[in-house]
Amino acid sequence: MPDIVLGMAGTGLHQNLSQTQTLAPQIRQSLEILQASTLELSQLVQQSLEVNPVLEDLTESVSLQELNEQSTDPERSDTSQEQYEDLRELAILENRSTGGGVEAQERREYLMNSLVGSETLQQHLLDQLEVSLADDEQREIVRILIGDLDDRGYLETPLSQMAATFGILLDKVEEARDRLQSFKPAGVGAADLRECLLIQLEQLHLQDSIEYDIVRDYLNILARKQFNQIAKALKVSEDEIMEAAKRIAKLDPAPGSSFDGTNNPIVIPDLKFARGEDGDWHASLTNEYLPKIRISDAYKSMLSTGQDRGVQSYLKDQIREGRHLIKALDQRQETILAIGEEIIMKQEEFLQHGLSKLHPLTMNDIADKIGIHATTVSRAVHGKYVDTPFGVIELRRFFASGYTKESGETVSNTGVKETIQKIVEGEDKKKPYSDSAIEKLLAKQGLKVARRTIAKYREQLNILPSHLRKGF
C-alpha cells in the first residue's frame, strides 16, 4: 500500500510507493518449527494441542506399507481421499518418531515437568528482535547472526564470509550486526574482546573516558599490567590508570556466558550417527520426546453432520491449521535428516578420528546438495545436536572454514585449534611458546595461519599469552 504523507509546513499532498515483505502466518510457523530445538518444539506442539481442539495425541499408528497399499489401490475412489490423507498423516508421524503409547507419553510429561527452562542467549536476543524496529529483511539477517554466536556471545565468523555464504550484501550484514550490538546483554555480537568492551563502554556513554582510550589502544599492555606505559601515553597519572583498570575489570568479557546452554542439564539430540549392519555410517532421527499428533476423526465427522456455517467454517480453519502443523513437522524432520546424511558424506574422517579431523564445510555446500537455501540450513541446525561416537555434538560445529596444507589436505578451524591446544600442552612451561613461535610450528606442519588468528584461537581456547603462562 502506498504511504500517504501530509506536509505540515507546505500545502501539498505527497504519496510514496514502498514495497515491503511480510511473512504469512503459516510460513512464520514453519520457520519457527524448523529452528526450534527438540524441547522447544515439544512445548510448541503441546501449546497447539491446547489451543486447537481438532488436534489429538496419537495413540495408534499406521504403517507405511499400509499407506502405500492404500495409495496404489486402483479401487480407491475419490471419496476416500480424506481417509488417504488421514493415513498419510499417521504414516508421517510413524516415520518421524520412535516413541509412542502410554510409556512414551509418561516420559515426555516427566521430562517437561522436571525441566527447569533456563533462557538461552538466542531466545533472549530473538525476543528483543521481535519488538525491535527492524524490517523483515533485517530481521532475517539478524536471526542468522544470532544463530552464529558462540557461547560468549561473540561473532567469530567474519561478516564478509557470512555475506558470501548467504548471498547477502555486506553492508546489509553490517547493518544487521549494528542492530544486534544494540541488544542486551551489552557487548553481544562483538568480533573480539576489544570490541566487546568498547560496545559496553559506548552503551554507558563513556566514549570520551580514559577507560575507552585504554581498551581501544592499549588493551594488550593493560593485560600485562604495565600501567606506567599507558599513563605516559595518555599523559595522566598512574593512579588514574589503575582506577580505570578497576572499572574496566567490572565489564563483562563474555556477555553470553550467563546464558550458557550447559546451565540446562538436558540436551536431547535430534540425530544419531551410527554404523549400520552394512558397515556404512547412517544418520537417523531420534525425537523420542516429540509428541505425535493427528487430526481428530470426531471433529472431521462433525463437518458432515449439518452443523451451521459458522461452526463448519471454524472447524475447517482448525483442521487446515492442524494439517499445516503436521506437514511443517514432517518437513522439519526431513530437512534435518537430509543435512545429517550430507554431513556424514562430507565428514567421514571425523567419524573415524574425532573433531581434529573435521574438514572445512559451509552451509552452502550442504544447501546445494539437498536443494535448499543456506539460510534454511542455518535455521535447521540452530540448537540441534547429534549423538556421535565422540559424544553429543552441536550440529553447527560441523560447519567451519579452514585451511589447505601445502600437501593439499584441508583442515578445519576446529582442527587448527586442537593443534594449537596440543602445542601449548607439550611446551616447556619455563619457556612457553609465543604466538609467533606457534605460527612457525604450524607452518612446519604445512599450515599457514596468521599470528593474529592464532591469538584469536588462543583466546577462544582460554589459553593465556605466553608471558602469563610462564612458570604455570
Whether residue 68 is predicted with pLDDT greater than 60 in this model: the reply is: no
Q: What confidence score (pLDDT) does residue 340 get?
A: 92
Residue 205 — left, alpha, or beta (φ > 0 → left; ψ -120 to 50 → alpha)? left
416 — pLDDT class (breaks 50, 70, 90) = confident
Would you place residue 84 in the very low, low, confident or very high pLDDT band (cuts 50, 70, 90)?
Answer: very low
Of the CA atoms within 13 Å of residue 151, those in its CB half-sphere come to 11
Q: Are strands 281-285 and 271-275 parallel, antiparallel or unpaired?
A: antiparallel
pLDDT of 229 above 50: yes
CA atoms within 13 A on the CB side of 21: 10
Torsion sign (Cα): 332, 338, 340, 342 = negative
Model pLDDT for residues 91-149, shown as the tens digit of each residue: 444 444 444 444 444 444 444 443 444 567 887 888 888 888 778 888 888 988 988 88
Confidence (pLDDT) at 93: 43
In this predicted structure, the answer to whether residue 187 has a pLDDT above a threshold of 80 is yes
CB 377 within 8 A of CB 366: yes
The answer to whether residue 230 scores a pLDDT higher than 50 is: yes
- pLDDT tier, 452 (very low <50, low <70, confident <90, very high otherwise): confident
In the prediction, which pLDDT does 310 show?
Answer: 80
Higher pLDDT, 62 or 437: 437
pLDDT confidence tier of residue 215, bands split at 50, 70 and 90: very high
Mean pLDDT of 442-448: 83
CA–CA dist 5, 30 (Å, integer): 36
pLDDT value at 87 more than 60: no
Domain locations in the chain?
121-258, 402-469
Decide which of 21 and 52 is more confident: 52
CA–CA separation, 28 and 47 (whole Å): 16
In this predicted structure, the answer to whether residue 332 has a pLDDT above a threshold of 70 is yes
Taking the C-alpha atoms of residue 38 and residue 289, their distance in angstroms, rounded to an integer, is 7
CATH of domain 402-469: 1.10.10.60
Whole-angstrom distance, CA of residue 301 vs CA of residue 319: 12
Hey, what's the cell of 124? 533472549
**Lowest-confidence region among 30-34, 81-85, 175-179:** 81-85
- Among 67, 120, 116, 123, which Cα is nearest to 91's? 67
Q: What is the mean pLDDT of residues 28-40?
A: 81
pLDDT of 207 above 50: yes
Per-residue pLDDT of 379-399, as tens digits, reads: 888 888 888 888 888 888 888
CA nearest neighbour of 31 among 131, 108, 144, 124: 144
The residue count of the chain comes to 472
Least confident span in 74-78, 199-203, 270-274 = 74-78
Q: What is the mean pLDDT of the chain?
A: 76
What is the band of 404 on the pLDDT scale with cuts at 50, 70, 90?
low
Instruction: Let me know: does 91 contact 63? Beta carbons within 8 Å.
Output: yes
pLDDT band at 175 (very low <50, low <70, confident <90, very high): very high
Is a pLDDT exceeding 60 seen at residue 307? yes
pLDDT over 90 for what percent of the chain?
Answer: 17
Q: What pLDDT is attached to residue 457? A: 83
Rounded to an integer, what is the distance from CA 65 to the centroid of its chain? 36
What is d(CA 341, CA 348) in angstroms, rounded to the nearest whole number?
Answer: 11
Q: What is the pLDDT of residues 368-378, one digit of tens each?
A: 888 888 888 88
Q: Which pLDDT belongs to residue 121? A: 84
